Amino acid sequence: MKIFEISKSFPKEEKYSLTDQIRRASRSVCSNISESLRKRKYELVFKNKLTDVQQEASETQSWLDFSLACKYIDQKTFDELDKEYEEIIAMLNSMEMNSSKFCF
């Protein structure tokens, strides 16, 4: 939701490019986590879905890089969001490495 709120201030000409991309990637993190939890019956599928989530989180970080470079966000905002995404990726990696604890 932070990214959604921040992206409201992006220039109108970014509506169908950067704004749309960063919103879709960040939302995809949440939705793919939900999907992965429904796939816990099959450990390999669960792990694969977690990999998808990590990719979406990394994509979001890339869009944050562009947002900073274009000066749509300041360094402080970038640092906060980038740190949060690094923590999310670390948790997802841990879940993947310990997938047997999550699967049944």
Dihedral angle at the C-alpha atoms of 19, 20, 21, 24, nearest 10 degrees?
Answer: 120
Number of domains in the chain: 1
The three-state secondary structure class of 103 is coil
**43-69 and 75-97 are packed helices; what angle lies between their axes, rounded to 10 degrees?**
170
- Domain presence at residue 45: yes
- Domain presence at residue 89: yes
**43-69 and 20-38 are packed helices; what angle lies between their axes, rounded to 10 degrees?**
160
Position 62 scores a pLDDT of: 98
Position 90 scores a pLDDT of: 98
- Domain presence at residue 49: yes
Instruction: Provide CB contacts within 8 A for 11, sequence distance 6+.
Output: 72
- Domain presence at residue 2: no
Domain containing residue 91: 15-98
Q: How confident is the model at residue 24 (pLDDT cuts 50, 70, 90)?
A: very high
- Domain presence at residue 6: no
CATH of the domain at 89: 1.20.1440.60
- Domain presence at residue 7: no
Position 40 scores a pLDDT of: 95
Average pLDDT over residues 26-51: 96
Q: For the chain, what is the mean pLDDT?
A: 97
